[in-house]
Structure 1
């Protein structure tokens, strides 16, 4: 007659050995994840501009916050730089993904756009050439972006948008709104794209605020409700300085559930006629 063998109970030593093995593996995985987070944070910190240019009557300020208190680093970025003819270039964007690759890709786009903007005065051309360059890199990633060019003398602001969220504006006399600019596809999706240019003049006291979707959209908030919340906030604080307004807008990201990283770029402008000629 066949007798069923009684399974051998694991000894305390076997259990301890298994536990030590699993603990070592867990520590290794946590260490690798933490290393990637720290690398992405370093990339993000060193690829975003330390300072932004400003002019008399024109202030700029920007803020960035990682997702979930730093557990995820994405590809959100902002930039502000002087162009050879004295104009101000401004950009904000969001790369698909939340890892080291997204952070590195963000840096490539930011540098490419700066270089292209130095030789192309039309925002549409800047966006088109940046898109063509990204397409030539054969990357699986793509990015949304808004690029703006501001003439500090005429206060004319020309902008082009590649699949990016709308901007918000407000003036000190009580007017405010969400931009409805036409745009093209995100960068890196299709070659030979056209990006329409929108023109506006910043000739009164007010603020123009660019942001990424991490500020206005999440599990707790739809993108429409998020934009309306920011519009109301900017309208209420249109007279604040750029630094204060940037802080207030970024703080509003908490209402989204904050599962995405977030970037804010504020352009605070005063009445051009009040400035010395």
Structure 2
């Protein structure tokens, strides 16, 4: 049993020691940089109480306690797995623990998204984007922000995506599309009314659709020419934020951009290299 787990075995510690332990577990990173006197002052306890606590946990004193705590904290961070996309952290978590859990959620989301991304679909989507007369993109809320970032990236290599900031006006974007164009539609559920309506119009216009969604059986997926699936880990009832879905969407768009860039690497590299950089001179 490592030190962190041992500290959670509250029955072996006195009430005052448990109060100190609560602070240590909630502010572990901070405690590692504190002296025994600082910890005693912060927890309204005494150095002798802290020493007894350390000894009960199998250490000779506070110095050895901190060495083991640092080692076990690193191991604890490395063993964090299967983060809940809806509630990735708990109220009791320290800032450092929150940071580690969000990092782990990011890693797990990207890995899950990458494993369900096929080369066939990727090639088809990149071909559609490169051969399209016009690229149009539709999304709402956070998904629209991801598309805006994708638009900015492509603009730097002389490709332009048509985006409409006002959602009701996206109808005109779809209604003016042709079979020579391509549309990117992003919807986590794939059943958002506005996105399905635009997909219907694009389909009537004969415009190929690249869809990014977590639901392969959704209405959006049925209209799509190519579907890039993302992990379906978020629940509609309650979540801290749409961390997982937005990470996945951004990853897919970054992959598309990178593949497009790589198809004409020298040309795009030169284009970026020749981009003027503003330098503020005093």
Indicate the TM-score class for this superposition, using the shorter chain for normalisation. under 0.3
Decide which structure has greater strand share: 1
Of structures 1 and 2, the one with the larger relative CO (CA 8 A, separation 6+) is 1
**Higher helix share goes to which structure?**
2
Please report the TM-score for the alignment, with normalisation by the length of structure 2: 0.26
**Could you state the TM-score of these two structures normalised by the residue count of structure 1?**
0.27
Larger radius of gyration: 2
